[in-house]
Amino acid sequence: MVFSSPVSATKIANLIKAKILGNKDSYAKGINEIHKVVEGDICFVDHPKYYDKCLNSPATFIIINTTDVIIPEGKTLLVVDEPFEAYLTIARHFRPFTAQYVAINSTASIGEGTVIMPNVFIGNHVKIGKDCIIYPNVTILDYSEIGNHVIIQSGTVIGGDAFYYNTKKTRDVWYKKMESCGNVIIEDFVEIGASCTIDRGVTASTIIGKGTKMDNMVHIGHDVIVGKNCLFAAQVGIAGATTIEDGVTLWGQVGVSKTLTIGANSVVMAQSGVASSLEANKVYFGYPAEDASIKRRELVWIKRIPELWKKIMD
């Protein structure tokens, strides 16, 4: 999440009741997860395993629960007992939940020539470009950005919260929601089928690239980056923080695990499961998804096992 204007270290520290170490004169530009941070961002860390990674990241501000670390030059440490709770405080302050009782929020921007059909819900600070068609019962939630010439079929939800939880077994409730303050960006000429769901980024953006087409009942998880001119058939599911490069085709019921990359122009055949990153320009099949030509030969040999066993026993 990018703040509307830079915020001083003192103001952030007062907000989360933190002790400031290091550079006390810096200004924060936003808050982000460790794999998304850029210079000027705030990130948080609450486990020694990740202290060094966070301290040596591009982030300028580190919310942390120890003073027993070396502070890199120019960085600001915000020391609190519970960094995760501090993150929630910042997210709620700069992106507070606002109840809405009208179908289309007055802060929404809708471009010329765009058709909004009955029972569409459009949230706070949504931007919709020119010549789009938004079919009945679509929900477009806060801060989503829709490009030009986009088609969204009935029942689709854009910008739902990330399925993302902080886990501590010492709490009565083990899974505590990491509240989403990111958004969804849908670029020009994208078509989205009926009853699809595209979750917002936790702190950054979920992005659907120009010209991509989705069938019905496709799910896109938080912080997923989908490239240009991709094609997803029905019931595809893509887990959080995955990158799908340009020109990828995923046929029906393909499942894609989190934080991996599918290379450009790859094709994944129906009902395959992608458990790790895939190289570009290949056809894949099976679970785990592998080069389709190899997988087919394996299936032929598996079918021959009874025949081979019979020969051995004879």
Of 125, 149, 219, 222, the active-site residue reads 222
Q: Is 222 a catalytic residue?
A: yes
Helix axes 83-94, 9-16, angle to 10 degrees: 110
Q: What residues are annotated to the active site?
A: 222
